[in-house]
């Protein structure tokens, strides 16, 4: 170490020593100086006095302001709602030191006399609310600001586990007056000049949506979380177009929603439902409608032919929702609804008798839309990456056949049941494409006539190249027909349909068609080939190509009569199937109606059951006889 470094180290030590000495000297001076001790003592007493005074003031305000504050709250609610709502509070707790207020047992409800008067005049709000809350917390409230400036400035409000009832009253029309109604600020300006709340949080709320006409619950939601961001009520907030009901945003979330169907045969599950009023969105993740039983067991519990649904949509998104109109008029309008990454499985058991009283016309897409309880307009319904599987069980073949529609995508325009939207356009247009039966590509346009009393629609489609052998899993199970060979180059079809059936035309280009006719194995084995009948069909009935050599392309008519129990999807594919039969030459073979076909099937199933019972009895007798012979030989 150099002399210079020794010198520097020595200076540092001297500096530290001086610092310690200075602190020691000052501390000793403060302790020994009587004048300074008096100042410190006076300061401590002053601080203690202020704390005592603040505590006393806090106790005084808590005791004497409580009735006045309760009165102000009641008046503000009554005045702000123009007499429609009243509120009761069991107890208030005020802490001036922390700027916090808590209230016990709050009940906000409509005034029944005022409500009934408005309902009689048909001018009540579309939605009314009732709220019950065990405890309300308001934090960081400046009471001096309220007293001096008549302004409320709150950090946050917390509502934990409230019970909320929202009642819907249909047919209410708020009167249109020449004078502009008073705003909420104008109603409260005599009491308050401004209200700002940075955040309001509702946690784990129970929410019931109730019909005002019947008093019945239309829907119930548990574990609802809601956050209101930046609420501002002042003389300028009415003109702030960035705010929705005086807020910058309202967000809501429902996690783990689950509900059984009325008949107990399905359970609806949703991972989460979230929404934002500022973004005008509502998002649903993992929507599932789950049947209670496997396919055959489910259908047999119903006793008649009814569709069984198994649905799963990973992502559902409403965009451009007019929340203001939804709240004020009860009308749902959204710019788009996206259904993404979904699977829809539909199953029908043909061993069961049909229900003669059931007419599935009401379940056609445009008919079901008209039955929605809320006036609805979706400008564009977007379908993306959906897979549909329609399965029928054939009890004669004892096999299931499935029509697969994979990678379905497209748009449906003007999805509405709202009279105002229908006056502009009464047609919903579906432009769709998909992979059909894992063998060909389908493009189809469907025009739904939304005001048609007979559920009318028009459809036009194109099916691309297809190897007909790939249809065998379907044709074997449902039609007891097997394709030996056949190549389709394209199919074009167009028809008008309604609740009674469909009529139109079809062109199908194909080559090298050969089929095998199958028959049921009465013992329950795999269907067997009808050799001679297959030979006759291929050489007499079947036209193996279109066009035939030296002939023009054949165009056939579609003429399909629907039965009331047939679904919309069944009507579509059966009418196309009729065109296919006509084109290949099977049109001269009469088709049985579903009712007649089901009646014949029930008879055949009964005969088969009796024959199998007879064979079982014969086997038992034969086994018994052999056992007797064995015993005799043994003796």
Q: Considering the domain boundaries, does residue 385 fall inside one? A: yes
SS3 content of the chain, % helix, strand, coil (to 5): 35, 40, 25
- The two tokens of residue 246 are 């005086």
Query: Taking 60 as the threshold, does the pLDDT of residue 58 lie above it?
Result: no
pLDDT of res. 303: 87
Q: Considering the domain boundaries, does residue 442 fall inside one? A: yes
Query: Taking 90 as the threshold, does the pLDDT of residue 365 lie above it?
Result: yes
Regarding whether 572 and 610 lie in a shared domain, the answer is: no
Give CA torsion, residues 80, 86, 90, 93, to 10 deg.
Answer: 0
Cβ(506)–Cβ(492) below 8 Å: yes
Regarding whether 609 and 567 lie in a shared domain, the answer is: no
Cβ(108)–Cβ(131) below 8 Å: yes
DSSP letter for 374, please: S
Q: Considering the domain boundaries, does residue 160 fall inside one? A: no
What is the pLDDT of the chain when averaged over all its residues? 81
Per-residue model confidence as pLDDT tens digits over 75-107 = 778 877 888 999 888 887 777 667 777 888 889
Query: What percent of the chain is modeled with pLDDT above 70?
Result: 78
Regarding whether 402 and 442 lie in a shared domain, the answer is: yes
Number of domains comprising the chain: 2
pLDDT of res. 344: 96
Q: Which residues does 93 contact at the CB level (< 8 Å), separation at least 6?
A: 62, 101, 102, 103, 104
Regarding whether 388 and 474 lie in a shared domain, the answer is: yes
Regarding whether 600 and 577 lie in a shared domain, the answer is: no
How far apart are the C-alpha atoms of 187 and 80, rounded to whole Å?
6
DSSP letter for 539, please: I
User: Which tops the pLDDT comparison, 555 or 20?
Assistant: 555
Q: Considering the domain boundaries, does residue 164 fall inside one? A: no
Regarding whether 450 and 310 lie in a shared domain, the answer is: yes
Q: How confident is the model at residue 8 (pLDDT cuts 50, 70, 90)?
A: very low
The residues that bridge with 438 in the sheet, in sequence order, are none
Per-residue model confidence as pLDDT tens digits over 383-438 = 999 999 989 888 877 788 888 999 999 999 999 999 999 999 999 999 999 999 88
Q: How many Å from the N-terminal Cα to the C-terminal Cα in the chain?
A: 124
- The two tokens of residue 488 are 């389709």
Regarding whether 450 and 312 lie in a shared domain, the answer is: yes
How far apart are the C-alpha atoms of 313 and 309, rounded to whole Å?
13
Could you give the angle at the alpha carbon of 542 between the alpha carbons of 538 and 546, nearest 5°? 130
Choose from 106-120, 163-177, 435-449 the range with maximum mean pLDDT: 435-449
Regarding whether 602 and 557 lie in a shared domain, the answer is: no
Q: Considering the domain boundaries, does residue 122 fall inside one? A: no
Regarding whether 364 and 328 lie in a shared domain, the answer is: yes
Regarding whether 621 and 508 lie in a shared domain, the answer is: no
Q: Which domain holds residue 582?
A: 282-591
User: What secondary structure, in 3-state letters, does 531-580 show?
Assistant: HHHHHHHHHHHCCCCECCCCCCCCEEEEEEECCCCCCHHHHHHHHHHHHH
Per-residue model confidence as pLDDT tens digits over 184-204 = 767 666 777 788 889 888 888
pLDDT of res. 27: 44
Q: Considering the domain boundaries, does residue 428 fall inside one? A: yes
Regarding whether 570 and 481 lie in a shared domain, the answer is: yes
Q: Where are the alpha helices (DSSP H) in 384-525?
A: 419-424, 472-479
Q: Considering the domain boundaries, does residue 218 fall inside one? A: no
User: Which tops the pLDDT comparison, 247 or 55?
Assistant: 247
When mean pLDDT is compared across 61-65, 126-130, 328-332, 529-533, the lowest value belongs to 61-65
User: Which tops the pLDDT comparison, 349 or 354?
Assistant: 349
Regarding whether 505 and 567 lie in a shared domain, the answer is: yes
Q: Considering the domain boundaries, does residue 463 fall inside one? A: yes
pLDDT of res. 447: 98
């Amino acid at each position: 170490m150099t002399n210079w470094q020794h010198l520097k180290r020595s200076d540092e030590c001297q500096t530290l020593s001086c610092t310690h000495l200075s602190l020691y000297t000052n501390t000793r001076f403060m302790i020994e100086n009587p004048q300074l001790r008096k100042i410190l003592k006076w300061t401590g007493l002053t601080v203690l006095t202020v704390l005592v005074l603040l505590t006393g003031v806090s106790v005084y305000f808590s005791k004497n302001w409580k009735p006045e504050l309760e009165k102000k709250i009641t008046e503000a609610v009554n005045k702000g709602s123009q007499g429609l709502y009243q509120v009761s509070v069991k107890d208030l707790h005020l802490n001036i030191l922390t700027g916090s207020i808590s209230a016990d047992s709050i009940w906000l409800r409509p005034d029944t006399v005022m409500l009934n008067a408005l309902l009689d005049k048909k001018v009540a709000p579309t939605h009314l609310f009732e709220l019950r809350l065990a405890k309300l917390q308001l934090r960081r409230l400046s009471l001096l600001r309220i007293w001096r400036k008549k302004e409320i400035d709150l950090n946050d409000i917390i509502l934990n586990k409230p019970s909320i009832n929202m009642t819907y009253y249909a047919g209410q029309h708020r009167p249109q007056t020449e004078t502009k109604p008073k705003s909420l600020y104008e109603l409260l300006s005599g009491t308050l000049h401004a209200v700002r709340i940075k955040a309001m949080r509702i946690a784990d709320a129970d929410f019931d949506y109730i019909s005002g006409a019947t008093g019945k619950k239309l829907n119930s939601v548990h574990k609802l979380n809601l956050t209101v961001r930046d609420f501002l009520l002042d003389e300028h907030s009415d003109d702030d177009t960035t705010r929705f009901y005086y807020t910058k945003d309202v967000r809501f979330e429902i996690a783990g929603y689950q509900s059984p169907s009325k008949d107990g045969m399905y359970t609806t599950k949703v991972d989460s439902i979230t929404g934002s009023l500022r973004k005008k969105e509502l998002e649903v993740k993992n929507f599932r409608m789950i049947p209670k039983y496997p396919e055959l067991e489910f259908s047999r519990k119903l006793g008649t032919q009814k569709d069984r649904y198994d649905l799963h949509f990973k992502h559902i998104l409403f965009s451009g929702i007019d929340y203001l109109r939804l709240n004020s008029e009860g009308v749902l309008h959204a710019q788009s609804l996206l259904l993404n990454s979904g699977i829809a499985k539909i199953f029908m058991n043909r061993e069961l008798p049909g229900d003669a009283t059931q007419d599935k016309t009401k379940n056609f897409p445009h008919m079901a839309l008209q039955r929605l309880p809320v006036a609805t307009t979706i400008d564009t319904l977007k379908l993306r990456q959906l897979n549909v599987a329609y399965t029928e069980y054939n009890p004669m073949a004892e096999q299931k056949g499935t029509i697969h529609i994979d990678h379905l995508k497209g748009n449906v325009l003007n999805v509405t049941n709202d009279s105002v939207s229908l006056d502009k356009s009464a047609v919903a247009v579906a432009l769709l494409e998909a992979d059909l039966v894992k063998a060909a590509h389908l493009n189809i346009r469907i025009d739904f006539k939304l005001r048609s009393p007979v559920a009318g629609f028009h459809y036009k489609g194109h099916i691309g190249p297809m190897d007909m052998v790939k249809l065998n899993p379907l044709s074997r199970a449902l039609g007891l027909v097997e394709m030996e060979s056949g190549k389709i180059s394209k199919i074009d079809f167009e028809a008008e349909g309604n609740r009674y059936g469909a009529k139109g035309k079809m062109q199908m280009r194909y080559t090298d068609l050969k089929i095998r006719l199958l028959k049921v194995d009465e013992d329950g084995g795999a269907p067997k080939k009808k050799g001679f009948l297959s030979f006759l069909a291929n050489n007499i009935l079947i036209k193996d190509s279109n066009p035939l050599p030296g002939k023009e392309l054949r165009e056939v008519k579609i003429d399909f009569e629907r039965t009331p129990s047939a679904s919309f999807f069944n009507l579509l594919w059966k009418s196309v199937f009729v065109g296919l039969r006509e084109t290949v030459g099977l049109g001269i073979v009469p088709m049985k109606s579903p009712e007649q076909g089901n009646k014949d099937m029930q008879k055949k199933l009964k005969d088969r059951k009796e024959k199998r019972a007879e064979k079982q009895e014969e086997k038992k007798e034969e086994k018994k006889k052999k056992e007797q012979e064995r015993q005799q030989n043994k003796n």
